[in-house]
Amino acid sequence: TCWCYSSFTQTMSKHTDAAAEVLLERKGCAGVITLNRPKFLNALNLSMIQQIYPQLKKWEQDPETFLIIMKGAGEKAFCAGGDIRVISENTKTNPKMVQDFFREEYMLNNAIDSCLKPYIALIHGITMGGGVGLSVHGQFRVATEKSLFAMPETAIGLFPDVGGGYFLPRLQGKLGYFLALTGFRLKGRDVYTAGIATHFVDSEKLGMLEDDLLALNSPSKENIADVLETYHTKSKIDQDKSFILEEHMDKINSWFSANTVEEIIENLQQDGSSFALEQLKVINKMSPTSLKITLRQLMEGSSKTLPEVLTMEYRLSQACIGGHDFHEGVRAVLIDKDQNPKWKPANLKEVTDEDLNNHFNSLGSNDLKF
């Protein structure tokens, strides 16, 4: 859904062994899922989703499996997002694969949220877009000083999906609206402070933490939480550092309380501080259609359940892949890398209410159902 932090080579998923792209292992008391495409920053593709989902469901029912751990191979990334270049390439040639990708990815996001076993995502390294979907809905999310979080979809003509419409408006104040519209990156302990992660652990202790979790004997949820809490309490990196957005939160809450993107932009212009103007510059580069869809997605999502949000987001995903901006964004950011997308419509006032409403329309029998 969301694109990978670095650009991909042409070979992508064509020459890799599908079975090795994700490792599913029973270890100690746990089921361990390892996203295993470190060269591609563990970007998520359809075959990985189709391996993870049934295994998650099996472990959820297995009396010998007491917890599920989700992690990424290598040191750089947990998961930098969905493999969206492949999605863009296949929109015309293999539309069914593209529909299946979003449908099955969102089903997996929901399965993580409703998982009956404690689910622990070790979000060490880059965690963006689809990677956020594999972690944020789980019961426990462990960040490290190397964590790098973002929902950068408005820059490629998409929207912060994978349940972004659910978790983003539920962050403190209007923080989620700010993160969604600007794609602002949070690093290290800030990922915990923002509420994306539930715990923070120094990365050099991550291996020990995993070993301690695997060694638990028929643990309860409380036993698992105790181990995480112990490691969290002992972590010293950036312990006394204040949240990067702390000094701006009052302003963010005020600016992003507006009901339209135009009003948010006006608020930033009127403020005129260097931080406000910096955000204005960023927002002005984004797809106007994406900005409008995203604001409405979060406003509506703030009072919906996660399945309702994912049903709404599936409608949005299908509208976006059928439109212009998504493919143009992928071209500008991932293929030609000129970073100069030509959005259509090119400005906010040309994105009509009718355009906007069409993105949210029911797909009838093609709707995502839970």
Q: How far apart are CA 111 and CA 100, in angstroms?
A: 16
Is there a catalytic annotation at residue 300? no
Residues 139-153: what's their mean pLDDT? Answer: 98
Is there a catalytic annotation at residue 207? no
Q: How far apart are CA 39 and CA 159, in angstroms?
A: 25
**Which pLDDT band, with edges at 50, 70 and 90, does 19 fall under?**
low
Mean pLDDT, the chain, rounded, equals: 94
Task: Tell me how long the chain is.
Answer: 370
The predicted model scores a pTM of 0.94
pLDDT beyond 90 at 3: no
Domains detected in the chain: 22-237+247-366 (3.90.226.10)
Angle between helices 288-301 and 261-271 (to 10 degrees): 100
Q: Point out the catalytic residue in the list 83, 153, 313, 328.
A: 153
Type of residue numbered 320: C
**Which pLDDT band, with edges at 50, 70 and 90, does 17 fall under?**
low
Q: Point out the catalytic residue in the list 28, 31, 130, 157.
A: 130
Q: Point out the catalytic residue in the list 161, 190, 313, 328.
A: 161
| Local structure of 41: helix, strand or coil | coil
Q: Does residue 346 or residue 17 have the better pLDDT?
A: 346
Q: How far apart are CA 292 and CA 260, in angstroms?
A: 8
Q: How far apart are CA 284 and CA 355, in angstroms?
A: 19
Q: Tell me what pLDDT residue 122 has.
A: 98
* C-alpha 134, offset from chain centre: 7
One DSSP character per residue, 83-96 reads: -HHHHHHHTTT-HH
Q: How many CB atoms lie within 10 A of CB 28?
A: 19
Is there a catalytic annotation at residue 130? yes
C-alpha R_g of the chain: 20
Tens of pLDDT, residues 289-348:
999 999 999 999 999 999 999 999 999 999 999 999 999 999 999 899 999 999 999 999
Closest of 319, 314, 288, 295 to residue 179, by C-alpha: 295
At CA 167, angle to CA 341 and CA 358, rounded to 5? 50
What residues contact 362, with CB distance under 8 A and at least 6 apart?
A: 315
What residues contact 183, with CB distance under 8 A and at least 6 apart?
A: 150, 151, 152, 153, 154, 155, 282, 286
Encode burial over 136-166: b for 16+ CB neighbours within 10 A, e otherwise. Answer: bbbbbbbbbbbbbbbbbbbbbbbbbbbbbbb
* CA distance to 120, 143, 157, 210, 349, per residue, from 160 (Å): 22, 20, 10, 30, 22
Q: How far apart are CA 128 and CA 4, in angstroms?
A: 8
Is there a catalytic annotation at residue 161? yes
Closest of 351, 360, 358, 361 to residue 292, by C-alpha: 351
Q: Tell me what pLDDT residue 1 has.
A: 44
Q: Point out the catalytic residue in the list 28, 31, 81, 82.
A: 82
Angle between helices 95-114 and 306-321 (to 10 degrees): 160
pLDDT beyond 50 at 212: yes
Phi, psi for residue 191 in degrees, rounded to 5: -65, -35
